[in-house]
Amino acid sequence: MTDCPDIQEDVSLWMDGDLDPLRAEAVEKHLESCAECTAFHQDLNSIRHGVGRLEPLDPPEHLWTNLRYQLEAEGLIHSEPKESFWASILPKRLPALKPAWSGAILALFLGIGSLLVYDLTTRSPLVPIPAASTSHQEDLLEELQKAETNYRAAIEALSTSSRRRLEGLDPVLAQVFHDNLATMDYYLNECKQAVENSPQNPLAHRYLLAAYQKKVELLQTIVTSDSLL
Amino acid sequence: MTEAQAIAGCVAGDPQAFEVLYNLHKRRVYSLCLRMVRDPAEAEDMSQEAFMQLFRKIGTFRGDSAFSTWMHRLTVNIILMRIRKKGLNQVSLDQDRDDGQDLPPKEYGSEDIDLLGVVDRITLEKAIAALPKGYRIVFVLHDIEGYEHNEIARIMGCSVGNSKSQLFKARLKLRSLLLDKKPKLEKKQLKASP
């Protein structure tokens, strides 16, 4: 006589295909004649089908927020790379307009600068320059002239690289850069003229230095134009 | 973004890639944790730990197996480690196996008590959650997650025979719990009692 609880363990194994053929045959034969074990078999089948229909459960929404904080805290999420000056002031979604934007910003800068130069050359200074001793003023002018020499050398060095870079750029973009350079050169000449007219005026030299500095920045932008776009 | 792209993105530290990978696997990881430990807060904590481990180790994923399999095994390891750390030495399968009080009473020659139509999702989830821990772990791993007995034996540090035996007892207990929910059977049991 067969003991049902023992057979039921075999039924469980038989359903998983984990029973050798001889015991599997014994199980099948027993199930034909035992209502209790048949019910047990059906119940396990029902459970199996029920388990097959179980759906994955949604985690709470804040789990991702917590995870994100921890990822940042451990430095697994990298922060965005730092942008260059020009890239930071230009619109990100309109790469085609970047040169136009840089031109507009430059034009604004030049406009303000030109007004100041005009004031320097045609009228008395907007802000009275405090009186300085002759020797002190000479030292200051000498320092400014040295700085101008350095900027000119930098511009000369960058000009070669930027010319090569412009040749490899998209013609439309290259033209925008050429236009910007031309505007910058015009402004530089204006500043130089102001210095010639008032060679002893430190403010004129400072504006000339600022113009050189901006030209260096523009040339650097052209040379590194890949990272800008 | 595909899973492969997201994996590469995670290695590079791309925040969007982490979110994509999380969204692809969050339900499976959380479900596994919740079914194994029952407590939602603990399941949440374990899920977070599982994903953190995953993201820390993602650079070591070589693609020898499916990413989901790799992630799943990592999650199971974390759950079991955490359970053991919490003093669940009682997960030791032997203890549950010999614990007769968890087993349903033996019934001989009873009427047809098939569960067909009774096993709805919520009832089944509750019944699984009510299983003793040792039974529940083997049942979830084998019957829900599809692990083989030899894998369970390796993970749990027991014999294959032990794993099979635990699974049988888990099914027996689950059947008993589900039968308790069946009104028709309850009526019959009441009538039969003296």
Helix spans in A53-97 (H): 62-73, 85-89
Domain residue ranges of chain B, discontinuous segments joined by +: 3-85, 93-192
Please report whether residue A68 resides in a domain.
no
Which residues, including other chains, have CB under 8 Å from residue A35's CB and lie 6 or more apart?
B111, B112
Establish how many alpha carbons lie within 13 A of residue A37's alpha carbon, considering only the half-sphere containing its beta carbon: 22
CB-nearest partner of B121 from A48, A53, A71: A53
A90 in the same domain as A46 = no
CB interface of B with A, residues 41-70, below 8 Å: 44, 47-48, 51-52, 55-56
Q: What is the pLDDT of residues A170-194, one digit of tens each?
A: 777 777 787 788 878 877 888 888 8
Please report whether residue A74 resides in a domain.
no
**Mind telling me how many Å the CA of A57 is from chain B's nearest CA?**
5
Give the separation between CA A165 and CA A161, rounded to whole angstroms.
Answer: 6
Please, which pLDDT band fits residue A26 given cuts at 50, 70 and 90?
very high
Token reading at A15: 């359903």
Residue of B nearest to A34 (CA): B109
Assign residue A17 a region (left: φ > 0; alpha: ψ between -120 and 50; beta: otherwise).
left
Please report whether residue A66 resides in a domain.
no
As a CATH number, domain B3-85 is: 1.10.1740.10
Give the separation between CA B14 and CA B30, rounded to whole angstroms.
Answer: 23
A159 in the same domain as A220 = yes
A93 in the same domain as A43 = no
Domain count, chain A: 2
ipTM above threshold 0.90: no
Question: How many A-B residue pairs are in contact by the CB < 8 A criterion?
Answer: 124
Residue of B nearest to A42 (CA): B114
Domain with A144 in it? 85-228
Report CB contact under 8 Å: B26, A12.
Answer: no
**Mind telling me how many Å the CA of B7 is from chain A's nearest CA?**
13
CB-nearest partner of A43 from B12, B22, B113: B113
A160 in the same domain as A110 = yes
How much is the average pLDDT of B67-91? 79
Q: What is the pLDDT of residues B108-167, one digit of tens each?
A: 334 434 454 556 788 889 899 999 988 999 999 999 998 999 999 988 889 999 999 999
Please report whether residue A62 resides in a domain.
no
Q: What are phi and psi of A169, to 5 degrees?
A: -85, 165
Please report whether residue A24 resides in a domain.
yes
Right CATH number for B93-192 from 3.40.50.300, 2.40.128.520, 1.10.10.10, 3.10.105.10? Answer: 1.10.10.10
